[in-house]
Amino acid sequence: MTQLVVAPDGRRLAVEQRGEPDGHPVFLLHGTPGSRVGPSPRATVLYRLGIRLITFDRPGYGRSDRLEGRRVADVAADVVTIADALGVGRFAVVGRSGGAPHALACAALLPDRLTRVAALVALAPREAEGLDWFDGMTESNVVEYRLALAGAGAVAARLTRAAEQIRADPASKVVGLFREVPESDRRVVADHGIRRLLVRNFAEGLRESTDGWVDDVLAFSGPWGFDPAEIRVPTLLWHGENDVFSPVGHSRWLGRRIPAATVRIQRGMAHFGAFGVLPEVLLWLVRT
């Protein structure tokens, strides 16, 4: 069931909870584009792990109101708003793909509320010193992020066309992935259950507009509003070595930047391998 939480500025945030109601609270931050109904472990798995999983649509996605001009750092205030509304004190956060930089923002800016953080197939900041940001990245992502330098209008023009096609045929986005990803990701996406979840995820995230997608691309391409070096909570960085959407060099750079981060690079896996490791990551997040 979706719950609407109202932020101090009046924006509505669409939130869902799954799993064990009295379990360890963990926020799962969705990818780009995405939504609160993105792929996650089944309820039976969450119950067995003792996890209370909290997901929400980032501003501009699904049923959440837009926050124009948002930075990656701005997610921290929304997470606190939701946690307070749900009566959650301390919690863990995991972000996958586009959700990973946002998870790191929570770790840097909410050290008194977070217990642990995990960032799966993360991007590094655009200004990351010593990192060739585009090295190993698929052409479609390169085009999107380079357009961000030309401003919001250029990004919106490209992504609006893509979103219109997804709304007309949500499965087309999943089919298009096959042309870009390595074989390990094709095997993941070929699974009927994963495909169904991805179709639902994209359709819900883009149901009203392209705003969330546009704002994510702009946020990743500009100053994040925090330095990963500020993170002091236990941090896990997981990456598939063959990732072409957020290349593995990004997690390696973050691992050098974040004090005492644990970096796990998985050979033979790529971007969507993050789905399969999530139950293991959830266990790590609630470890005491």
pLDDT in tens, 88-144: 999 999 999 999 999 999 999 999 999 999 999 999 999 999 999 999 999 999 999
* Dihedral sign, Cα of residue 87, residue 91, residue 97, residue 100: positive
* Token pair recorded at residue 244: 């072409």
Residue 216 predicted with pLDDT over 80 = yes
Task: Indicate the pTM of the whole model.
Answer: 0.96
* Cα 116 to Cα 261: distance, rounded to the nearest angstrom: 11
pLDDT, position 1: 87
Question: Phi and psi (nearest 5°) for 115?
Answer: -95, -45
pLDDT, position 183: 93
pLDDT, position 168: 86
- 195: confidence class by pLDDT, cuts 50, 70, 90: confident
Residue 41: other Cβ atoms inside 10 A: 19
Residue 227 predicted with pLDDT over 90 = yes
Mean pLDDT, residues 144-148 taken together: 95
Using the structure block, give the residue that is written with the tokens 């709304």: 167
Query: 148, 115, 130: which is closest to 32 by C-alpha?
Result: 148
- Give residue 175's identity as a one-letter amino acid code: V
Mean pLDDT, residues 178-200 taken together: 88
- 148: confidence class by pLDDT, cuts 50, 70, 90: very high
51-56 and 114-120 beta bridge pairing: unpaired
- Give residue 132's identity as a one-letter amino acid code: D
Residue 174 predicted with pLDDT over 80 = no
Residue 72 predicted with pLDDT over 80 = yes
- 287: confidence class by pLDDT, cuts 50, 70, 90: confident
Contact 177, 153 (CB under 8 A): no
Query: 146, 137, 142: which is closest to 242 by C-alpha?
Result: 137
pLDDT, position 16: 98
**Mean pLDDT score across all residues of the chain:** 95
* Token pair recorded at residue 122: 């993360």
Residue 167 predicted with pLDDT over 90 = no
Cα–Cα distances (Å) from 94 to 5, 53, 110, 183, 275, in that order, read 20, 10, 14, 25, 12
